[in-house]
């Protein structure tokens, strides 16, 4: 499936932001900690969530969905995660800690997802080993046996997925676990709050040091999936590249402060508790030097958006990708096909503002694909974005939503 993006159409109106992919996947992974029903509201209708729900069903969970509300209940009838679904979604690894905590064993394939560089789960596995779990790594599979024991453990890097897995692995332990150098992303906080609502004892919510006192069992709870900060940034970047005036609703500006600061420094913005309005009437100046880093610093998931935005800015912008070694290369080459002036040297991209024209480009991954759509909105002529199935993994109706505020994006098979 492809998108044909007709550039040069300014965007005006209002766009609501839906629930976050990365939050929904973590909360769904935690549903395996209890047989009782967990209900999630504001759960996005995207491919990754659909695949995660199917994965839970293959494990024995009962799943229902009505619009953006999802319910998951029941015991597992297997602790073996099958390859077909797991290979489609990196979020499949997020069931590992929870299943171990409740059942004491889990077998799963190495996770799939986007081709943006090395994405090992060694921090997850190292933490589990420290908790006394017997971990056997095979070529394509990981087998873990043993209920996690209480430890004090410092993550060598604040990995989001490892933090989520190790917290979930600890909540049913007999005693107190202290995890240090944890990730502090909003999605982590949302998971911690769900677990507390389920009966877990967690202190240090939102902090880099988290203390978990194990309980014997967890129970039913309801949680609201937080607004998707990457979708919010995508909509902002769309207006930056295309021009216009758009109000984003149902978002949390606090969750994307680093990205929002770059936009606010160049364009007229109004920020409210759950809304952001941006008014773009001219080009940005250089965005300077931006380095990706763990939250609350500039997120790697917004790097491709900034890359596209920088092509439309006056002067030179430098982006340093510190997390994924291959995340710059592909989109840089595609933007250069559109007339961009992007030079990549290892993990550093230097972008000199230019005029983009429509071209045939290819989405290689979820965030990169969205970045190419954003670039096409401001380009002269038509941009043909191929392989947009990647985009559908994390965006619900991206083309239709942007068309509602004046974009012209056609979907072709």
Work out the average pLDDT over 388-413. 96
How confident is the model over 125-148, as pLDDT tens digits? 999 999 999 999 887 889 999 999
Query: What is 21-224's CATH topology?
Result: UDP-n-acetylglucosamine1-carboxyvinyl-transferase; Chain (3.65.10)
DSSP assignment string, 330-399: HHHHHHHHTT-EEEEETTEEEEE----B--EEE--SHHHHHHHHHHHHHSBSEEEEE-THHHHTT-SSHH
Which sign, positive or negative, has the C-alpha torsion 36, 40, 43, 48?
negative
* Res. 115: pLDDT tops 60: no
Q: Do domains 2-18+227-412 and 21-224 have the same CATH topology?
A: yes
pLDDT digits (tens, 9 = 90+) for 143-196: 999 999 999 999 999 999 999 999 999 999 999 999 999 999 999 999 999 999
Q: What's the CA gap between 311 and 260, in Å, rounded?
A: 18
How far is the C-alpha of 399 from the C-alpha of 4, rounded, in Å? 10
Rounded CA-CA distance 307/330 in Å is 11
Q: Where are the domains of the chain?
A: 2-18+227-412, 21-224
pLDDT of residue 116: 40
Q: How far is CA 223 from CA 38, 41, 56, 189, 209, in A?
A: 8, 6, 18, 12, 23
Q: Would you call 211 helix, strand, or coil by DSSP?
A: strand
Q: What percent of the chain has pLDDT over 70?
A: 98
Question: Cα–Cα distance between 218 and 202 in angstroms, integer?
Answer: 13
* DSSP designation for 292: B
Tens-place pLDDT, residues 337-353: 999 999 999 999 999 99
What pLDDT shows up at residue 118? 42
Cα 118 from chain centre: 16
| pLDDT at 138 (0 to 100) | 84
pLDDT given at position 85: 78
Please state, as a whole number, how many other Cβ atoms lie within 10 Å of the Cβ of residue 24: 29
Say whether pLDDT at 113 is over 70. Answer: no
| The predicted structure's pLDDT at residue 193 | 98
Residue (of 3, 11, 8) closest to 312 by Cα position:
8
Across the chain, mean pLDDT equals 95
pLDDT, mean of residues 192-215? 98
Q: Is the pLDDT of residue 90 over 80?
A: no
Q: Comparing C-alpha atoms, which of 227, 182, 231, 232 is closest to residue 203?
A: 182
285's CB contacts (< 8 A; 6+ apart) are 266, 313, 314, 315
pTM, full prediction:
0.96
Domain 2-18+227-412: give its CATH code: 3.65.10.10
Residue 62: the pLDDT is 98
Mean local confidence (pLDDT), 32-51: 97
Q: Write down the catalytic residue from 114, 144, 182, 311.
A: 114
* pLDDT band with cut points at 50, 70 and 90 for residue 325: confident
> How does DSSP assign 78-141, residue by residue?
--BPPHHHHTT-GGGGGGHHHHHHHHSEEEEEPP----SS----HHHHHHHHHTT-EEEE-SSE
Task: State mean pLDDT over 381-401.
Answer: 97
Tally Cβ neighbours within 10 Å of residue 98.
27
pLDDT at 326 over 80: no
Mean pLDDT throughout 218-244?
Answer: 98
Q: Evaluate if residue 119 carries a pLDDT over 80.
A: no
Distance in angstroms (rounded) separating the CA atoms of residues 212 and 210: 7
| Strand order across the 268-271 sheet | 11-16, 244-249, 276-280, 268-271
Which 3 state secondary structure label does DSSP give 13?
A: strand
- The β-bridge relationship of strands 348-352 and 341-345 is antiparallel
CA distance 209 to 366: 31
**Catalytic annotation on 114?**
yes
Average pLDDT over residues 107-126: 71
d(CA 236, CA 46): 20
SS3 230: helix
Reduced to 3 states (helix: H, G, I; strand: E, B; else coil), residue 38 is strand
Q: Above pLDDT 90, what percent of the chain?
A: 91
Question: Which residue from 166, 181, 155 is spatially nearest to 212, judged by alpha carbons?
Answer: 166
When pLDDT is cut at 50, 70 and 90, the band that residue 312 belongs to is very high
For 36, the token pair is 């009782």
Q: Which residue has the tokens 């800015």?
A: 313
**Cα–Cα distance measured from residue 21 to residue 294, given in angstroms and rounded to the nearest whole number:** 18
Reply yes or no on whether the pLDDT at 84 is more than 90. no
Q: How far apart are alpha carbons 376 and 383 in whole angstroms? A: 5
Least Cα distance to 395 among 353, 365, 360 occurs for 365
């Amino acid at each position: 499936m492809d998108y044909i993006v007709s550039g040069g159409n300014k965007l005006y109106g209002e766009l609501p932001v839906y629930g976050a992919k990365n939050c929904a996947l973590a909360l769904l992974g935690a549903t395996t900690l209890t047989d009782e029903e967990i209900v999630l509201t504001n759960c996005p209708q995207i491919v990754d969530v659909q695949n995660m729900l199917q994965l839970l069903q293959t494990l024995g969970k009962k799943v229902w969905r009505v619009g953006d509300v999802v319910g998951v209940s029941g015991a597992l009838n297997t602790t073996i995660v099958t390859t077909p679904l797991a290979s489609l979604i990196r979020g499949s690894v997020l069931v590992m800690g929870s299943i171990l905590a409740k059942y004491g064993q889990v077998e799963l394939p190495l996770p799939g997802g986007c081709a943006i560089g090395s994405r090992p789960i060694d921090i997850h596995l190292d933490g589990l080993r420290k908790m006394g779990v017997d971990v056997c790594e095979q070529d394509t599979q990981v087998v873990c046996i043993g209920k996690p024991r209480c430890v004090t453990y410092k993550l060598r890097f604040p990995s989001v997925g490892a933090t989520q897995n190790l917290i979930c692995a600890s909540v049913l332990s007999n005693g107190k676990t202290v995890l240090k150098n944890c990730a502090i992303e909003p999605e982590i906080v949302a998971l911690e709050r769900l677990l507390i609502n389920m009966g877990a004892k967690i202190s240090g919510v939102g902090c880099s040091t988290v203390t978990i006192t194990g309980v014997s069992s967890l129970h039913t709870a309801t949680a609201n999936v937080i607004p998707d900060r990457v979708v919010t940034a995508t909509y902002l970047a769309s207006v930056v590249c295309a021009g216009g005036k758009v109000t984003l609703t149902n978002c949390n500006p606090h969750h994307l402060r680093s990205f929002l600061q770059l936009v606010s420094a160049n364009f007229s913005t109004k920020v409210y508790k759950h809304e952001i309005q941006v008014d773009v009437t001219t080009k940005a100046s250089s965005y300077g030097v931006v380095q990706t880093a763990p939250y609350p610093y500039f997120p790697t998931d917004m790097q491709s958006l900034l890359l596209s935005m920088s092509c439309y800015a006056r002067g030179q912008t430098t982006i340093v990708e510190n997390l994924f070694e291959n995340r710059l290369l592909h989109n840089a080459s595609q933007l250069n096909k559109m007339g961009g002036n992007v030079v990549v040297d290892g993990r550093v991209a230097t972008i000199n503002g230019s005029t983009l024209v429509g071209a045939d480009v290819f989405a290689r991954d979820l965030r990169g694909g969205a970045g190419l759509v954003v670039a096409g909105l401001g380009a002269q002529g038509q941009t043909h974005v191929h392989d947009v199935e990647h985009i559908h993994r994390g965006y619900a109706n991206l083309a239709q939503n942007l068309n509602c505020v004046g974009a012209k994006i056609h979907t072709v098979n």
